[in-house]
Amino acid sequence: MSVRELFPFFKWGFSLRRSNFLVPILSNNVIVTGEEAVGFSDSSRKSPVQDMNALSLPPVDGKPNPIDKAIAMLTNAEIVSKVEDGSLPQYKLESELNDLTRAVEIRRQVLERNMEQDVSLRSLPYENFDYSKVLGACCENVIGYIPIPVGIAGPLLMNGINVSIPMATTEGCLVASTHRGAKAISESGGATATIIGRGMTRAPVVRFLDSRRAVELVHWIQEPVNFAAVQRAFDSTSRFAKLKSVKPTVAGRLVYLRFKSETGDAMGMNMISKGVEKVLEMVHTVFRDMEILALSGNMCTDKKPAAINWIEGRGRTVVADAIISGHVVEKVLKTTVRDLIDLNQSKNLVGSAMAGSVGGFNAHAANILTAIYIATGQDPAQNVESSNCITLMESYNNGRDLYISCTMPSIEVGTVGGGTFLPAQSTCLDILNVKGASYESPGAHADQLARVVCAAVLAGELSLMSALAAGHLMTSHMALNRAKS
C-alpha cells in the first residue's frame, strides 16, 4: 500500500499547493519529508537500526570516533538525555528502538522530567497495549491510553432483532437511562429504523480571476456529458467510491464544489478526498486559470455546525420511530403520554427554536451518539454534525399511546478504517455484528451501525424526556452521578 493511498491529505500538500513547505509523512515507520518519502513497500530502504550502525560520530581532535552504538543498545537514561538535548526527536523513538512499549515508557520519562509541576504519570496506564495498531494510524507521541468504562444498554428490539448497545462514557445515568428507554420501546413492540439516504461529502474551494469564469465552471460541471466524465474520474480511484452529485456554490470569484459519494462501509473521508483530488486534476486541464485553494472549503461540512448538513444530509440520513403503549409509559417511564407531548413541544421544539438552534431539536442526542462512537472507534469529533436530530412526539390511538420519532440527517459512521480495527473497539462492533466490511453488500454494516445509533438515540430521548416530565432527573443524577473520592 502506498503513502498516497494511506495519507491522501499529506499528498495533497505536494501535488496541488504551490508553496514548497514539506509535510511530515510516515515511511517504514520513519518520519520523512518531501522527495525523501517512499512507499511502505520499499524493501530496499535500510532499517533505522541499520542506518544508525552505519554512522560514525564527528572526529574529535582529528581522530575518528568508533561507530556509535545503535539507539536500542543504550540505557533508558541515555536515550532520555538524547531526546532532551535534541539529538533524537521524540517521534523517532518507535522506529529507532523497535520496541513500541519501551518508546512509550521513555517518552513518559521525558515528560515527567520536563514538567514544571511535580506530576506523576503512574495512574495513566501504558503497559499491555498493542501499540502496533496505533503507530502511523491513530495517534502520535503516545504516552499511554485512557481506560473509559463501557456499558451495555438494551437489548433494544429494532427492525425485529434484539441489539445490545455498547456505550463508552464517564457520565453516570446515561447507560441506565438509555437502557430504560430501550426496555420501554421493546415492551411496546420495538422500534423501526430506516436509512433515508447516504453519501459522504467533501467540498474543495477554487478561485478564478473573476466571477464570470467562476460561473463558467458551474455551467460546465452541470452539463450531463461533463458530469459523466467527472463521475468516471472520481469512481476510478476506489472500487467503493460512487459519486452521486456535485453541487457548486459561487461566492464572488470563489467556487465551492460539494461532492457527495457512496463510500461502502468506510466513513469515507479519505476515500472521497482521493476522488476529489483526481477530479480537480482533470478539471484543471480544462480550466487552466483555476487556482486550487484547498481540498476542504468548509462547505463539506466536517466537525463544525452547519445548516447544510441539517438540510442536505451527510453520511447516513436515518429515521427511527416507535409507538409506546400508554401502559408502558406509566409503568416503566413513570409519566403520562400527555405530559411527554407537552414537554417535547415546549422544550425540544419551541425552546430550541427560541435558541436559534440548527439541528438541535432534541434533548441529548449527542450524549448517546458520542458514547457509541467512542465505543466503536468512530471519530468522536464528528458528533458535532452527526448528532443533528429532531425528536417528535404525538398522541396515538386516540391519545392512549405515544408516537415518538428521531430523524437524524447526518450520522457519519464506518465499520472499517479509523479506530475501528483497535481490539476493544473492534469487539464493540462485534457485539453489534457489524465488524469490518460487508462483502455481500458493501455499505450494509455501516448502514446497520447508523440505524443502531438512531434507534439508541430514540431510546435515550424517550427516557430523559420522561425523567424531566416526571421530575426525576436530579434524583437519578444525585444517586448515580455523584463523584467518588
pLDDT, residue 300, reads: 97
- For 423-456, the pLDDT digits (tens) are 999 999 999 999 999 999 999 999 999 999 999 9
Query: Which one, of 214, 304, 309, lies nearest residue 258 by Cα?
Result: 309
> Residue 1: is its pLDDT beyond 90?
no
pLDDT on residue 161? 98
Indicate the pairing of strand 389-396 with strand 360-361.
parallel
Task: Determine if the peptide bond prior to 64 is cis (ω within 30°).
Answer: no
Mean pLDDT over the full length of the chain = 87
CA separation for the pair 106, 293 (Å, rounded): 41
Report how far apart, in Å, the C-alpha atoms of 270 and of each of 9, 11, 27, 267, 416 are: 8, 11, 18, 9, 12
Residues 348/391, Cβ–Cβ less than 8 Å: yes
Average pLDDT on 59-72 reads: 53
Q: What share of the chain has pLDDT > 90, as a percent?
A: 81
pLDDT in tens, 121-173: 999 999 999 999 999 899 999 999 999 999 999 999 999 999 999 999 999 99
Give the position of cell 502496533: 132
Q: Which three cell numbers stand for residue 464?
A: 430523559
Average pLDDT of the segment spanning 449-476: 91
Give the residue among 76, 164, 193, 136 at the shortest CA–CA distance from 376. 164
The pLDDT assigned to 98 comes to: 92
- Which CATH architecture group holds 150-197+315-480? Alpha-Beta Complex (3.90)
Dihedral sign from CA coordinates of 360, 166, 435, 94: positive
Please give the grid coordinates belonging to residue 5: 493511498
Residue ranges, comma separated, of all CATH 3.30.70.420 domains in the chain are 204-294
Residue intervals of the chain classified under CATH 3.90.770.10 are: 150-197+315-480
Residue 70: which pLDDT band, with cuts at 50, 70 and 90?
A: confident
pLDDT at 393: 98
Binned at pLDDT 50, 70 and 90, residue 472 comes out as confident
- Tell me the mean pLDDT in the region 251-273: 97
pLDDT at 298: 98
37-51 pLDDT, tens per residue?
A: 322 233 333 333 333
Bigger pLDDT: 232 vs 21:
232
pLDDT class of 474 with cuts at 50, 70, 90: low
- pLDDT above 90: residue 19: no
The hierarchical CATH code for the domain 204-294 is 3.30.70.420
Query: What's residue 119's pLDDT?
Result: 87
pLDDT at 116: 82
Name the grid cell of 88. 533524537
Torsion sign (Cα): 175, 177, 179, 185: negative
pLDDT of residue 64: 40
- Classify strands 161-168 and 192-202 as parallel, antiparallel or unpaired: unpaired
The Cα–Cα gap between 262 and 258 comes to 14
According to the model, what pLDDT value does residue 54 have? 35
Considering only CA atoms, give the Rg of the chain: 27
Give pLDDT tens digits for 354-392: 999 999 999 999 999 999 999 999 999 999 999 999 999
| Mean pLDDT within 395-419 | 97
Please report the pLDDT score of residue 477 as a whole number: 53
- Residue-level pLDDT at 26: 34
- Provide the annotated active-site residues: 171, 303, 379, 477
The 10s digit of each residue's pLDDT in 80-100 is 999 999 999 999 999 999 999
What does the pLDDT read at residue 23?
Answer: 33
pLDDT at 27 over 50: no
Identify the burial level of 467 via C-beta atoms within 10 angstroms of its C-beta, where 0-12 means exposed, 13-18 middle and 19 or more buried: buried
